[in-house]
Amino acid sequence: MSVFSYKQRNNIILVSIIVLGCFLLYALSGLFSSILGAVVLYTIFRSTYIYLVEKRGLNGPVVAVGVIVTSLIVIVIPFLLLSFMVINKIAELNADTLLLQRWFRKIDAFTGANLNRPHFAEEAVQKLSDYATELFPSIIGGAANIVVILLFMYFILYFMFVQMRSFEAGMLRYAPVREQHALKFAQELRNSTYSNVLGQGIISIVQGVLLANGFWIFGIPDPIFWGVIGTFISFLPVVGAPTLTIPAGLLLMADGHAIKGVVLIAYGVLFIGNVDNVLRMAINKRIANTHPLISLVGVFIGLPLFGILGLVFGPLLLSYFLLLVEIYQTNRMAAERLERIRTGPDL
């Protein structure tokens, strides 16, 4: 006969589950970005998968493979191509260091004389390097590690789609909140993903095109390259494509084209910057009703923690925090009403 009671055995099993769960989380920490990436892609393509499989009657595994191929073409490959573009451009600049140094000297001389910032170019390049490290880990990461992360992400995504109903039922079953609150959490995930991936993607493409056109009109070299760079850094808060017009405008001023430089900076800061605000308001109304402040603060929170996936999971964490506060307040008021009903009115 066992020396442990029924309750003691359950407690021991619970502690074992927690310990083993923590160990598994630690063991999978290197692939955590794969799990987050699978969740993001699942959220984006879920409605498409349901439409093709459940309404059009197509084969589920085939559709899942099609979704994987589509996401590779539309999302993953552009980031990899950007990495190669940046690496090639850095190699070209390293091969012509005299040109790069001449640009830096001109900008530093101008900013030192007029703005009391003698090391503006050096500081700007350092900040851009830090942001690029966070936004584009493929530039500095090993190729083998990238392949493993992508394979694991798509392996998870495939089974999330093929076993969609059982997967979602399991999430609802083991959620630590009531079903309606769990569904509200899922809605917040959808809103955050649509607003900060699809919505911000549209904004970034528009800003990149406008930046490339501006650089072409004002005679800045490689306008297409800088337009592509502007498209991707527009995902970052505060930085964005308009900030690239500042060093370009300063370079024009340093070359003796003061009016062109001022107009280019004004074009970037006033026109391209305001396009961001107008499009964001329109997209938030049509795609997801996410408050801009939640998106902005959430991105600052998420980037240091999750890298590029922090664009989604940063605002999501902030939305979940606010949602938990709302649920707590609702439950507390309900508990107080039940207590008043049970005890009766105060005499």
Q: Per-residue pLDDT tens for 117-157?
A: 666 666 666 666 565 555 554 444 455 566 777 888 899 99
- What pLDDT score does 138 carry? 45
* Under 8 Å between Cβ of 31 and 149: yes
Average pLDDT score over residue span 172-190: 75
**323 pLDDT higher than 70:** yes
Residue-level pLDDT at 43? 86
Return the pLDDT at 174: 75
Residue 158: the pLDDT is 92
pLDDT more than 90, % of the chain: 3
CA distance 208 to 230: 5
Q: If we measure between CA atoms, which residue out of 327, 260, 317 comes closest to residue 294?
A: 317
What is the pLDDT of the chain when averaged over all its residues? 76
pLDDT tens-digit map of 247-285: 788 778 877 788 888 898 889 888 887 877 777 777 766
Q: State yes or no: pLDDT of 99 exceeds 60.
A: no
Q: Does residue 304 register a pLDDT over 80?
A: no
Nearest-angstrom CA–CA distance, 37 and 46: 14
Assess whether pLDDT exceeds 70 at residue 171: yes
Q: How far apart are CA 244 and CA 259, in angstroms?
A: 17
Of 5-14, 75-84, 272-281, which range is least confident? 75-84
